[in-house]
């Protein structure tokens, strides 16, 4: 029996570039989540609950602005890098223009924050914290994740990401001890992230022989116009995913918000699974789509089948272990929160249904379909969540979130069939 097990192509599976991409993306996201969990009690103890809330509020504003800084490059750039892997000159121009464009957007976003603070006196309670947090915009602008993803070389960036987060954790322990030091929390995160990114840029230039040219503003402007639909798609997805808690706040008490927020945070972590799969297979799928479409469809069908199986396992596992998960995280038995988690556990599996559609839209450059689907999902979510929450509270919101995932899958099916029936039949036949 052991001889048979040894014959299984485990080494071949591990060497598969798409699986490697997925595993390294999991490492990156897991380290981010783990450091966040570890840093929370440290920060609350050091700066107090009030300042901790303002730090997180500032971070929420920055995350929203980071959608502008990213401007869809996280979707378009990996494909461009993957297609031009062997052309160093084309890669050099691409890398130079993407980084220049993102730094320009980070500068504009920072200017908008400064104008908001000093010109219109916005963000009154956390102006200083927000200003110091702007360094995170430049950390996002210089993050070369998209480059290594397209090159299918994720090992280095996953290691450096962990190192950056550990430096941030060390910085909290060493430098953050009083409430008045809260302005340095997000600054430290941005500082260490930016420092690591500069090292990665040096590595790209020195060891991968990628040259950095002066920004070509015509090429940057062209890429921004091409990515505008990706930008609005990301914005709509951000609203759809993070808007539920805001809607619930209009209809429920603070205690209910806390109960739902705990369950939602767990589910949002699990929901990363289909998104990570898409990011992992995207470079290889793009190359196959360009060279051999039948091979592309075979590859995507194989991935899709496995994703659905693992998605079902994740959903069932979360449903049946909900009481244990809530007890570990809250150190108490919160019945209402357990109920929310048991219902929302279906979200990861339902989200997996759309992996095939989204991958096809990305590799076929169907940005307009992705844009339409994202905003139709956003509108449906806002309407259904408002109605369901007003009628049934937190449980209604849970079912609205699940219904939104199902509806966006159906929307993508219809849009793909109507726009490109050949691709639709190639995958679903």
How far apart CA 294 and CA 341 sit, in angstroms, is 40
Name, of 38-47, 73-82, 416-425, the range with top average pLDDT. 416-425
Considering only residues 333 and 198, tell me which one the structure prediction assigns the higher pLDDT: 198
SS (H, E, C) 145-205: HHHHHHHCCCHHHHHHHHHHHHHHHHHHHHHCCCHHHCHHHHHHHHHHHHHHHHHHHHHHH
**Per-domain residue ranges of the chain:** 11-215, 241-428
| Contact status, residue 22 vs residue 276, Cβ threshold 8 Å | yes
Q: What are the tens digits of pLDDT across the range 190-220?
A: 999 999 999 999 999 999 999 999 989 999 9
Mean pLDDT, rounded, for 91-114: 96
What pLDDT does 343 receive?
Answer: 96
Q: Which one of 24-28, 79-83, 126-130, 410-414 scores highest in mean pLDDT?
A: 410-414
Tokens of 243: 């808007």
Quickly state the pLDDT bin for 280 (edges 50, 70, 90): confident
Confidence of residue 300 (pLDDT cuts 50, 70, 90): very high
Q: For the segment 119-130, what is each residue's pLDDT rounded down to a tens digit? A: 999 888 889 999
Confidence of residue 37 (pLDDT cuts 50, 70, 90): low
- CA separation (Å) from 341 to 41, 311, 317, 346, 347? 23, 16, 11, 9, 10
Question: Is residue 40 predicted with pLDDT exceeding 90?
Answer: no
| Distance (Å, whole) CA 15 – CA 2 | 22
pLDDT band at 417 (very low <50, low <70, confident <90, very high): very high
Report, as an integer, the average pLDDT of 365-388: 91
256, 339 contact by CB (below 8 A): no
Mean pLDDT across 79-99: 91
- Rounded CA gap, 203 and 210, in Å? 9
Mean pLDDT of the chain: 86
Q: What pLDDT is stored for residue 142 in this prediction?
A: 96
- Average pLDDT (348-366) is 93
Give the mean model confidence (pLDDT) for residues 246-254.
72
The top-scoring range by mean pLDDT among 1-15, 48-62, 371-385 is 371-385
Q: What is the mean pLDDT of residues 76-94?
A: 89
- The answer to whether residue 133 scores a pLDDT higher than 70 is yes
Residue 352 has pLDDT above 90, yes or no: yes
Helices and strands counted in the chain (H then E): 20, 0
Of residues 286 and 28, more confidence is placed in 286
Share of residues in the chain with pLDDT > 70 (%): 90
What are the tokens at 121? Answer: 């006196």
What is the pLDDT at residue 351?
A: 95
pLDDT at 248 over 80: no
Q: What is the pLDDT of residue 154?
A: 84
In sequence order, which residues have a C-beta less than 8 Å from that of residue 389 and are 6 or more positions away? 247, 248, 250, 251, 252, 396, 397, 400
Q: Are 370 and 411 in contact (CB under 8 A)?
A: no
> What pTM was computed for the model?
0.72
For residues 98 and 84, give the distance between their C-alpha atoms in angstroms, rounded to a whole number: 14
Least confident window among 267-271, 360-364, 398-402: 267-271
Q: Categorize the per-residue pLDDT at 380 as very low, low, confident or very high, splitting at 50, 70 and 90.
A: very high
Query: What's the rounded Cα separation, in Å, for the pair 345 and 358?
Result: 22
Residue 70, classed as helix, strand or coil, is helix
**Is residue 8 pLDDT above 70, yes or no?**
no
CA distance linking residue 94 with residue 97, whole number of Å: 5
* Band (249; pLDDT cuts 50, 70, 90): low
What is residue 245's predicted lDDT score, i.e. its pLDDT?
67
The tokens for 241 are 């995913």
Helix (H, G, I), strand (E, B) or coil at 354: coil
pLDDT number for residue 86: 86
pLDDT at 88: 92
Better-predicted residue by pLDDT, 63 or 376 = 376
User: What percentage of residues in the chain have a pLDDT greater than 90?
Assistant: 54
| Overall average pLDDT of the 399-420 stretch | 94
Give the pLDDT score at 13: 47
Task: Provide the pLDDT for residue 428.
Answer: 92
pLDDT of residue 10: 45
Per-residue pLDDT, averaged over 165-182, amounts to 92
- Which pLDDT belongs to residue 60? 75
């Amino acid at each position: 029996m052991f001889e048979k097990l040894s014959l299984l192509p485990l080494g071949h599976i591990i060497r598969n570039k798409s699986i490697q991409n997925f595993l390294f993306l999991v490492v990156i996201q897991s380290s981010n989540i783990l450091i966040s969990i570890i840093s929370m009690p440290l920060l609350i103890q050091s700066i107090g609950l009030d300042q901790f809330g303002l730090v997180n509020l500032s971070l929420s504003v920055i995350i929203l602005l980071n959608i502008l800084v990213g401007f869809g490059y996280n979707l378009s750039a990996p494909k461009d890098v993957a297609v031009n892997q062997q052309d160093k000159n084309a890669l050099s121009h691409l890398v130079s223009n993407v980084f220049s464009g993102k730094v320009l957007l980070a500068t504009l976003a920072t200017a908008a924050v400064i104008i908001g603070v000093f010109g219109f006196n916005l963000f009154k309670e956390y102006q200083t914290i927000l200003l110091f947090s702007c360094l995170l915009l430049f950390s996002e602008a210089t993050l070369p994740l998209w480059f290594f993803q397209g090159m299918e070389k994720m090992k280095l960036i996953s290691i450096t990401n962990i190192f950056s987060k550990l430096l941030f954790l060390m910085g909290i322990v060493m430098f953050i001890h009083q409430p008045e030091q809260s302005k340095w929390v997000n600054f430290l995160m941005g500082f260490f992230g930016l420092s690591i990114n500069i090292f990665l840029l040096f590595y790209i230039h020195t060891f991968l022989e990628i040259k950095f040219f002066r920004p070509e503003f015509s090429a940057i402007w062209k890429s921004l116009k091409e990515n505008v639909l990706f930008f609005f798609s990301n914005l709509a997805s951000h609203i759809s995913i993070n808007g539920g808690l805001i809607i619930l706040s209009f209809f429920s008490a603070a205690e209910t918000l806390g109960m739902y927020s705990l369950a939602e945070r767990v589910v949002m972590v699990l929901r990363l699974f289909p998104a990570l799969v898409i990011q992992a297979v995207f470079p290889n799928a793009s190359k196959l789509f360009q060279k051999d479409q039948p091979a592309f469809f075979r590859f995507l069908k194989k991935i899709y089948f496995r994703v659905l199986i693992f998605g079902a396992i994740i959903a069932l596992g979360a449903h049946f272990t909900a009481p244990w998960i809530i007890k570990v995280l809250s150190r108490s038995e919160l019945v209402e929160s357990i109920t929310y988690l048991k219902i929302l556990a279906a979200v990861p599996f339902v989200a997996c249904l759309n992996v095939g559609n989204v991958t096809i839209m990305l590799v076929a450059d169907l940005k307009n379909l992705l844009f339409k689907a994202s905003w139709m999902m956003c509108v449906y979510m806002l309407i259904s969540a408002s109605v369901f929450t007003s009628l049934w509270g937190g449980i209604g919101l849970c079912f609205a979130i699940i219904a939104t995932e199902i509806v966006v899958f159906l929307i993508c099916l219809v849009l793909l069939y109507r726009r490109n029936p050949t691709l639709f039949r190639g995958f679903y036949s």
